[in-house]
Each structure stands twice: as C-alpha cells, then as structure tokens.
Amino acid sequence: MNEFELEIVTPDGLLFEGNARKIILRTVEGDVGILPRHSDYVAPLAIGVARVFTQSGERSAACAGGMVSVMNGVVRVVASTFEWSEDIDVERALKAKEKAQTRLEESKRSDYEHRLAEIKLKKSLARLSASERK
C-alpha cells in the first residue's frame, strides 16, 4: 500500500487519525508535500490551506500555526487551528476579512495592531480558500 499514518491534532483534540496518500501544508518556508516514505522532517506551520489525500478522496482545511513532523513514517500535524472546509462559516470569514482590511487601512494603528490585522486577514483568506475546495 502506498500510504502513511497521519494524525492531525489541535488544542481541541484529535481531528484525524488514519492513512493518507499525500498531504500538502504551508510551512514558514513555503508549501511542502509529504508522500509515503518521506524522510524524517520537522517544520513550523504558517497560515494556509492544507490538503489531505486519502483513499476516499481529497479534503481541504484552513490551517494556522503549529508544526508538522515526519518520524519513522508517521506524519503528525499539531496545529493551533485546523478547520475542515465543510466546517468553515463562510459568512463569518468574509466579515473577518473585511474587518481586517479596514484595520489595515487605518493609519493610527501601532505596529502590533497592524501585524495582528495582517494575521487575521491571512487567516480569513485561508478559510475562504479552503471553503472553496469542498
């Protein structure tokens, strides 16, 4: 079989445990694809869309923060947030996007507030992108 063990965990608990054929994730260095027999690997996750390929098909999710590790053929994703496309509230994500864009346009923001608005914008865009891949 051309699969590997995959576990996806968030602070809310175990979201996925099973076999996968491939996973594509956004790390801080860029997108990475993991296939069976991948070498041992650890990387911090960035904000983006994760794609999980199993025998049943493909599922997408908005993923933000955490890490991915491959150890002895087992892939573990420990994410701050991981939302499957079918669980994303599109209307809420659109509102968050608009609010973040408005905050970025305001000139009286501190560096911290500006960075926070950028992060919220990236998260909302990842949610919207993942929701389009249902």
Q: In a structure prediction context, what are the per-residue pLDDT tens digits for the chain, which is 134 residues long?
A: 699 999 999 999 999 999 999 999 999 999 999 999 999 999 999 999 999 999 999 999 999 999 999 999 999 999 999 999 999 989 998 898 898 888 888 767 788 888 888 888 888 888 888 888 65
The phi, psi pair for 52, rounded to 5°, reads -115, 125
pLDDT of residue 116: 86
Say how far apart CA 101 and CA 43 lie, in whole Å: 29
Tell me the two tokens of residue 3: 């699969």
Residue 55 Cα distances to 27, 52, 83, angstroms: 25, 10, 20
Q: Which long-range contacts (CB under 8 A, 24 or more apart) does 60-64 make?
A: 60/84, 60/85, 60/130, 60/133, 60/134, 61/85, 61/130, 62/88, 62/123, 62/126, 62/127, 62/129, 62/130, 62/131, 63/25, 63/26, 63/126, 64/122, 64/123, 64/126
| Paired sense of beta strands 4-10 and 41-44, if any | unpaired
The phi, psi pair for 105, rounded to 5°, reads -75, -20
pLDDT of residue 134: 56
